[in-house]
Amino acid sequence: MRYLLLLGLWWFTSAAVAAPVILVFGDSLAAGYGLPQKAGWVELLQQRLAKEQRHYSVVNASISGETTAGGRARIAAALKEYRPAIVVLELGANDGLRGLPLEASRANLAAILQACREQQARVLLVGMKIPPNYGAAYTRQFEETYRELAGQFHTAWVPFLLEGIAANRDQFQADGLHPTVAAQPLVLENVWRELKPLLGKH
């Protein structure tokens, strides 16, 4: 009996360790800012994977307030620690809201994408849109950065994380920036639509 118990424990541990990792690498929109624990779309993603019997382990390495520069500084360590099969890259919103130089943001995202490529991780690049606070040209170029990088690196991409949500004020918390608990399944659907083809047969 003891032998069977140890064997079962070994099998469970080995299976858990062997599960390929989906690394969500983003900012407050992925970190679950202002939400109850386990209510964010990243947690819902893990539940969706389990429901569909897709054996992936989701690691959320997102940080509220993160910029593309911050992401660039810590991507190497995250890739080394988690060895992800897939990276969901959701960064740039804070750069845009602060009006940071788009050339720098693009270079940072490109560096992150290159690091993922060198680790042979598949990437889902998550696009964002911003209010026209800094002029139409800046706003347009910000949005186009994601499409252009997705083409350059041949990655899957979500054109807009908050598609179908952004126009509805009731779907946002009091700050007007972060989606509510009720909106999280909608955010997940936007990600899932493009993520699902990357999952393979795991």
% of the chain residues with pLDDT over 70:
91
The predicted structure's pLDDT at residue 15: 45
Read off the pLDDT of each residue in 132-155 and give the average, rounded to a whole number: 97
Query: pLDDT tens digit string along 22-36?
Result: 999 999 999 999 999
Catalytic pick among 14, 154, 178, 202 = 178
Tell me whether residue 28 is one of the annotated catalytic residues: yes
Cα–Cα dist 13/9, whole Å: 6
Answering whether pTM is above 0.85, one says: yes
Catalytic pick among 27, 28, 62, 95 = 28
Task: From 25, 16, 81, 8, select the one nearest 50 (Cα to Cα).
Answer: 16
Q: Report which DSSP code applies to 179.
A: B
Split at pLDDT 50, 70, 90, the class of 83 is very high
Could you tell me the CA-to-CA distances from 180 to 41, 124, 187 in Å, in that order?
11, 23, 10
Q: b or e along 142-171 (b: 16 or more beta carbons within 10 Å of the residue's beta carbon)?
A: bbebbeebbeebebbbbbbbbbebeeeeeb
Catalytic pick among 57, 105, 175, 202 = 175
Query: pLDDT tens digit string along 12-69?
Result: 444 445 799 999 999 999 999 999 999 999 999 999 999 999 999 999 999 999 999 9
What integer best gives the mean pLDDT of the chain?
92
- Could you tell me which residue, 10 or 113, shows the higher pLDDT? 113
Domain 22-198: assigned CATH number: 3.40.50.1110
E strand spans, the chain: 21-26, 57-60, 86-90, 122-126, 156-158
Annotated domain spans of the chain: 22-198
Tell me whether residue 202 is one of the annotated catalytic residues: no
SS3 132: helix
Whether pLDDT at 137 is above 60: yes
The predicted structure's pLDDT at residue 11: 46
Tell me whether residue 62 is one of the annotated catalytic residues: no
